[in-house]
Structure 1
Amino acid sequence: MASVSAGLNIWDYIIVAIVLLISSAIGIYYRFTGGKQKTIQEYLLADKNMSIAPVAFSLMASFMSAITILGVSSENYSFGFQFIVINISHLLFTPIAAYLYIPVFFKLQATSVYQYLELRFGKTSRLAASISYTIQMVLYMGVVVYAPALALEALTGINRVSAVLSMGIVCSFYSTIGGMKAVLITDVFQSILMFLSVFSVIGAALVQHGSVGEIWRIASEGNRTNIWNFNPDPTERHSWFTLILGGGITYLSLYGVNQTQIQRYLTVRDLRRAQKALWWNWPILFCLGLSTAFSGLAIYSRYHDCDPIRAGYINNTDQLMPYFVVDTMGHIPGLSGLFVAGIFSASLSTISAALNCLAAVTMEDYYKPLYRYFRKKSPSSKRVAIQTKFLALLYGVICIAMAFIVQHLGSILSASLTIFGVVGGPLLGLFTLGMFTLMANEAGSLTGLTCGIVLGLWMGFGPKPPLTRLPTRTDSCENLAFNSTMILSKSITKQNRDYMWLYRVSYLYNGVFGFLATLIIGYSASFIIRRITGRTIEQENYDHNLFIPCLSKSVLVRKKDNKTFMLVQTSEPCDVINDDNFQEKYTKVDLD
């Protein structure tokens, strides 16, 4: 097997152009229909009248970027099929997100999820969390655009500058003028293209080998089909324990408390529909995850006796899928273009989600508070709608700029992805402290958040042992340009004991450790601070809507007539209580 020549034909470019034009047309359509995006509710929350199906697809597409598609396929090619177990964690943790976290945000009905933190703890907590989210997403946007552009340039001949500009400009255009409605509908269209691009890879392998069974047989001979690793050791990179627990915490940080996903839940009419959208998201996410994972085995079935990385045909594993497409389908007009369109779509869906949500966070958490502070009044709804569109466009420009910046920073590619993971766990811990406990206060929670982020970054950026990939062969390669950096040898696979235990822990536990550190330290610090200051839980003026359903319906604390009372539920649920009728529905205990 010899290296392949790069390049797309005219039909491939036509297909890519059509996809970009359709995405832009959707934005234009929603700009001039309905309410024409004149109100902030329509622009950021789609007027709260979206149906379940597009929201379910958008929940999947928001974080299934081109990096995910390219990365999951190369993961299964290099390390085997074990990663598929992470989909079970998504199923197990979906009810936790649906019935514990989402109801709190639905009661609040705030455009920014970080408004919750101000109501529960204070302004400092809100600002700390929203700044963390903003930095996280800005870095991630640059990587999401640049990484696939780099991989495609090496094999398809698409100039990376052209790829970055086309994705950035088109995405900024339809996100800015069409608002959340355009984002959700384009996510559906782009999700279909993502599936088609992955299915094209599997289809090409089926044409070569004749059946799924044959692909599986070849992968099995290469020791890539074993998924029964139950080793509880935290240093095991992928096992049922790391994938279920680590994948579950990551899932909760994205689908339970992340601004990008919560904003999508709020585009439907009521809580029940939002929960249904999340449940329907799981089979869609599972199907794409399964097909993408199997595409890695499909690619291995073609290169099991000639690894293109070790042979020197490509430079890294991210180029495996594009290389396979050009190698097997490059001679068929349009098929390579369909794949490129799918990769573009994966990036577009992720970036459009980020632009809309970053605009919302900036408006709600930064601009409005500053405007009220200096002007002593709130900005008009018309002004807010116009300025939010400008913010979305501004973040589109920042996205394009970041894509060009990361190419000069080298390690920022892996660094920003690490930040994306390690920040999510501590933020989940901060929201959990607020929703699940009465003990937590602002000072204690911020102490926990700081410790959680520091621990996560320490684990994420510390020196890591070299990864031991499964063996590959080069005996059938032609024009072998041997790449010694990919040889598996004792000199490279250094003994793990030479590294600090914390650095050997699976990367999937970064979020888990950050979550637990925030939770444990935040709760303990809050307890200590209460003992020092003498301020008890009973003296707080809690809003029951800020707690998970089971906690909000058991014990409330209210102040009335300058006296403190604990209200213990007797017959009615907490969401119907008010200060005028609580005596009829609750037993009042005087705490003063």
Structure 2
Amino acid sequence: MTPYLALSILLIYFIILIAISIKTSKGADTNSFFTANKSVPWYLVAFGMIGTSLSGVTFISVPGAVGTKAFSYFQMVLGYTVGYFFIATVLMPLYYKLNLISIYQYLKTRFGFWSYKTGSAFFLLSRTLGSAVRLYIAAKVLQIAIYDPLGVPFEVSVVITIMLIWVYTYKGGIKTIVITDTLQTVFLITAVALTIYLISKELNFGFGEMITSIKDSSYSEIFFFDGGWADSKNFFKQFISGAFIAIVMTGLDQDLMQKNLTCKNIGEAQKNMFWFTITMVFVTFMFMCLGALMYIYMNQKGLAIPALTDDLYPNLALKIFSNPSLGFSGLLVSITFLIGITAATYASSDSALTALTTAFCVDFMNIEDKGEAQRKKIKNYVHIGFSVLFMIVIFIFNALNSTDVISATFQIASYTYGPLLGLFAFGIYTKYEVKDKFVPMICVLSPILTYALVQLIETYGNYKFGFENLLLNGLITMIGLLLFRKNTIK
């Protein structure tokens, strides 16, 4: 695939998104930007959330990880279903009852001013770092496939990309995002399904043969009960972690919950979460089947498997299948990969940009107390500010040029969600009031203490932490809140 063809595909893609934005933003005000006037059909929210939940990192990493971890990730996905059930039955009724725009307004109602600001600040930190990293990884893939051959510097391509995201989100906000994410989810799922079909065709597999080959391969093992808690693939470790990851990274995350709050009522929002869960499980399983099929293809053709599993899908799609001898089928794999990773990345990034703008405007700029003209002005400035912040973080990652920095950033993000877990759990499951002014101190110290304990246990206890640090972090936050509770009960 030539860089000019790839660039043309990318331009057509963004033209479609901008056209949707123009259509959906007609007559839009700030209420449309923040809540879509609570008029979005539940099925659009459910389907569009798939694209938001799956980033470009997932698009690349899940299929690649099958080579070393088989289908063990599916154990975590099963845990997600428990977390999503909790969100639908506990958190969402609470958010709808309080008629929230920012979900962190609950902390103000429950504990007070400083708890509210602290919860929102931790979200802003987590989402800014996480979304910028996801966008950075996809931008590097697009740089190799498109911009390097054209001589366009990385910094220029990043500025262009973020400006395009800003253009189609700045006016319509969440009202536009729900529609564009639905379209991008279609692209993402189509890319995976079509790649599976084309690789199967190259292997001369029918549907039944494909299923049998995946099932009989060493890659398809799902459940791992041996090895104890020290094993990163242990079923109970993965399942429990999955449940809590879903709760904090969906239920306590303004980005994902803002979409749910656009539904007309709690009944439709719960219906949305139910169908989202089913679709999410199915799509993730497709990703793992794709991974197994790619490894089978590489082995049968005698091709070298990349040392880094994340390089498998890009290498296969953009290099191996770009060989002219494979003809149109090979070109189609390259095109679908490009569209798929673009859809997965920008469905996550545009949604995060809108959620960050909403949280900052509502939680720190008190936008609800202002007139429409002033609200729109503040919203636009904040939207631009977070767009620029995304660029700065991406440029920093590029300057450091280290995958270890990226891994460390995701690890930091897992720590920053711990205080949110502790705050919401303490608020929902206890009746204690807290000394609100001490909450920022508790939430800052909790990740630090968690990190120290993790290092101590891993050094002397022969135990390797995965996402359990999230649970430990939440527990330490709850203990801190308990120590600084008031004598009164709410």
Same fold (TM over 0.5): yes
From 8, 16, 22, give the equivalent of 2:16: 22
From 381, 385, 389, give the equivalent of 2:380: 389
Cα deviations across residues 219-274 of structure 1 (Å, max 9, x unaligned)?
A: 67763222221248332112211221001100001222211122112111111111
Provide the rounded CA distance (Å) in 2 between the counterparts of 1:300 and 1:106: 46
What is the deviation of 1:338? 2.8
What is the deviation of 1:30? 2.0
SS at match of 1:178: coil
User: Which residue is 1:237 aligned to?
Assistant: 232
Provide the rounded CA distance (Å) in 1 between the counterparts of 2:379 and 2:210: 50
Provide the rounded CA distance (Å) in 2 between the counterparts of 1:73 and 1:110: 37
User: Which residue is 1:343 aligned to?
Assistant: 341
Provide the rounded CA distance (Å) in 2 between the counterparts of 1:456 and 1:219: 40
Provide the rounded CA distance (Å) in 1 between the counterparts of 2:172 and 2:86: 33
What is the deviation of 1:436? 1.7
Cα deviations across residues 180-227 of structure 1 (Å, max 9, x unaligned)?
A: 111110000100111122223312321122146655666677632222
User: Which residue is 1:93 aligned to?
Assistant: 83
SS at match of 1:408: helix
User: Which residue is 1:116 aligned to?
Assistant: 106
Q: Name the amino acid aligned to 1:525.
A: L
Distance 1:15 1:459, change over 3 A: farther
Q: Name the amino acid aligned to 1:17.
A: L
User: Which residue is 1:361 aligned to?
Assistant: 359
Distance 1:250 1:458, change over 3 A: farther
SS at match of 1:81: coil
User: Which residue is 1:268 aligned to?
Assistant: 263
Q: Which moved more, 1:19-28 or 1:88-97?
A: 88-97
What is the deviation of 1:396? 1.7
Report if aligned partners of 2:353, 2:386 keep a CA contact under 8 Å in 1: yes
Distance 1:457 1:10, change over 3 A: same
SS at match of 2:101: coil
What is the deviation of 1:512? 2.1
What is the deviation of 1:9? 5.5
User: Which residue is 1:145 aligned to?
Assistant: 135
Q: Say whether residues 1:308 and 2:300 are aligned partners.
A: no
Q: Which moved more, 1:204-213 or 1:191-200?
A: 204-213
What is the deviation of 1:514? 1.7
User: Which residue is 1:516 aligned to?
Assistant: 475
Provide the rounded CA distance (Å) in 1 between the counterparts of 2:54 and 2:465: 21
Distance 1:307 1:23, change over 3 A: same
What is the deviation of 1:108? 1.4
Provide the rounded CA distance (Å) in 2 between the counterparts of 1:141 and 1:89: 23
User: Which residue is 2:483 aligned to?
Assistant: 525
Q: Say whether residues 1:433 and 2:430 are aligned partners.
A: no
Equivalenced residues, count: 474
SS at match of 1:224: helix
From 461, 466, 473, give the equivalent of 1:501: 461
Q: Name the amino acid aligned to 2:125.
A: I
Provide the rounded CA distance (Å) in 2 between the counterparts of 1:162 and 1:296: 33
Cα deviations across residues 127-149 of structure 1 (Å, max 9, x unaligned)?
A: 22211111111112221111122
Q: Say whether residues 1:297 and 2:289 are aligned partners.
A: no
Highest Rg: 1 or 2?
Answer: 1
User: Which residue is 2:60 aligned to?
Assistant: 70
Distance 1:516 1:321, change over 3 A: same
Q: Name the amino acid aligned to 2:470.
A: G
From 224, 227, 234, give the equivalent of 2:222: 227
Report if aligned partners of 1:69, 1:292 keep a CA contact under 8 Å in 2: yes
Q: Name the amino acid aligned to 1:93.
A: G
Q: Name the amino acid aligned to 1:167.
A: T
SS at match of 1:177: coil
Provide the rounded CA distance (Å) in 1 between the counterparts of 2:120 and 2:4: 45
Distance 1:382 1:103, change over 3 A: same
Provide the rounded CA distance (Å) in 1 between the counterparts of 2:336 and 2:303: 26
User: Which residue is 2:283 aligned to?
Assistant: 288
Report if aligned partners of 2:118, 2:439 keep a CA contact under 8 Å in 1: no
User: Which residue is 2:398 aligned to?
Assistant: 407
Distance 1:250 1:380, change over 3 A: same
Provide the rounded CA distance (Å) in 2 between the counterparts of 1:388 and 1:421: 28
Identity, % of aligned pairs? 21
User: Which residue is 2:315 aligned to?
Assistant: 323
Report if aligned partners of 2:48, 2:183 keep a CA contact under 8 Å in 1: no
Provide the rounded CA distance (Å) in 2 between the counterparts of 1:60 and 1:266: 16
5+ residue gaps in structure 2?
Answer: none
Provide the rounded CA distance (Å) in 2 between the counterparts of 1:445 and 1:401: 30
Q: Name the amino acid aligned to 1:60.
A: I
SS at match of 2:58: helix
What is the deviation of 1:163? 4.6
What is the deviation of 1:100? 0.8
What is the deviation of 1:22? 0.5
Report if aligned partners of 1:256, 1:262 keep a CA contact under 8 Å in 2: yes
Report if aligned partners of 1:74, 1:317 keep a CA contact under 8 Å in 2: yes
Q: Name the amino acid aligned to 2:108.
A: E
Provide the rounded CA distance (Å) in 2 between the counterparts of 1:197 and 1:501: 44
The structure that is helix-richer by fraction is: 2
Report if aligned partners of 2:132, 2:393 keep a CA contact under 8 Å in 1: yes
Provide the rounded CA distance (Å) in 1 between the counterparts of 2:248 and 2:16: 32
Provide the rounded CA distance (Å) in 1 between the counterparts of 2:269 and 2:468: 29
Provide the rounded CA distance (Å) in 2 between the counterparts of 1:459 and 1:194: 40
Q: Name the amino acid aligned to 1:513.
A: L
Q: TM-score, normalised by structure 1?
A: 0.74
Provide the rounded CA distance (Å) in 2 between the counterparts of 1:452 and 1:505: 20
Q: Name the amino acid aligned to 2:474.
A: F
From 181, 195, 203, give the equivalent of 1:187: 181
Q: Name the amino acid aligned to 1:356.
A: T
Q: Name the amino acid aligned to 2:275.
A: W
User: Which residue is 1:551 aligned to?
Assistant: none
Higher relative contact order (CA 8 A, sep 6+): 2
User: Which residue is 1:421 aligned to?
Assistant: 414
Correspondences of 1:157-196 after superposition (within 5 Å): 160-161=154-155, 163-196=157-190
5+ residue gaps in structure 1?
Answer: 1-6, 311-315, 373-377, 464-496, 543-592
Provide the rounded CA distance (Å) in 2 between the counterparts of 1:281 and 1:107: 22
What is the deviation of 1:456? 4.4
Report if aligned partners of 1:54, 1:188 keep a CA contact under 8 Å in 2: yes
What is the deviation of 1:91? 1.8
Q: Name the amino acid aligned to 1:501.
A: G
RMSD: 2.7
Provide the rounded CA distance (Å) in 1 between the counterparts of 2:215 and 2:298: 14
Report if aligned partners of 1:232, 1:241 keep a CA contact under 8 Å in 2: no
What is the deviation of 1:156? 6.1
Distance 1:218 1:19, change over 3 A: same
